[in-house]
Amino acid sequence: MVDSYANSDDAAVAIAGARAGADVVRAMYGRRLSRIDKGAGDFATTADVEAEKAILGVIRAARPDDAILGEEGGQQGAAEAVRQWLVDPLCGTLNYAVGNMLVAVNVALRDGAAAVADPFSGEVFFTDGKAAWVRHDGADDALLTPTPASRLVDVNLDPPFPSAPEFRAVDLLAHPGFIDYFRPRVVSTTLALAWVAAGKRAAYVTDGGNLSESVHFAAGIAVCRAAGCVVTGIDGAPIGEAGRGLVAAADDETHGLLMSMMRRCR
């Protein structure tokens, strides 16, 4: 099965990798899993490690010369390689460990194709770097169409908070205009980014540094951009080496409203 992707395009490799990881995550759900302490209250489980192995197996078979940065295994190949895959095998480990199914599997080629798999819905949100679609087993691919209609906004409250005290995501939740217009959600997984691209969320907000090359965020950012979402840092600047955090919005109006509210929180 893995070898069949050796001559496939990058989007097919990303999808295959994300699905391979999702299969492991789904199969191991509900088991008593060993935990690997990462410090500061963070940890990985056996499912994280095994899912990453499955993803790397797909990528290595299809693209043996590419570098890979994995959440669990670290850097493999040259960090400065032109082609580097960013892999987060289980985004939402805390959710998963307590029996919550809100998790994602993220696979992205830097500046290229990417896929975000939901292990429990069976959906795979993906991009070839130009457009974005969602695939479900047995159904045709559907083009992703962002919309702010739900007014649901996911706000990531996980530490660290590098922009505090100038900006704290929790302050946005207390902004009266935010509550009047939007409805806050906290799912603690970057699956929420794919939901913005798919029209299931109006926006997503998180603090942080340069998230464009983060194993956690790269796939979701790529899908959002390809779907036509507005993607910037929390200061409105393009995300990148000088960027801070992330705002992904379904359209310009939603992005503008959020930026206005965030400025008033400072």
State yes or no: pLDDT of 4 exceeds 60. Answer: no
Q: How many CB atoms lie within 10 A of CB 236?
A: 14
Mean pLDDT of 160-175: 85
Mean pLDDT of 142-157: 96
- Between 110-124, 130-144, 163-177, 200-214, the lowest mean confidence (pLDDT) is in 163-177
What is the model's pLDDT at position 203?
98
Distance, in Å, from the CA atom of 141 to the CA atom of 126, rounded to the nearest integer, reads 10
Distance, in Å, from the CA atom of 113 to the CA atom of 109, rounded to the nearest integer, reads 5
Tell me the CATH class for 152-263.
alpha beta
Distance, in Å, from the CA atom of 201 to the CA atom of 146, rounded to the nearest integer, reads 8
Element (H, E) at 230: strand 230-232
Only one residue has tokens 């990881």, namely: 21
Tell me the CATH class for 10-143.
alpha beta
- Flag whether the pTM goes above 0.85: yes
Domain spans, the chain:
10-143, 152-263
Tens of pLDDT along 196-225?
A: 999 999 999 999 888 988 999 999 999 999
State yes or no: pLDDT of 167 exceeds 90. Answer: no
What is the model's pLDDT at position 243?
67
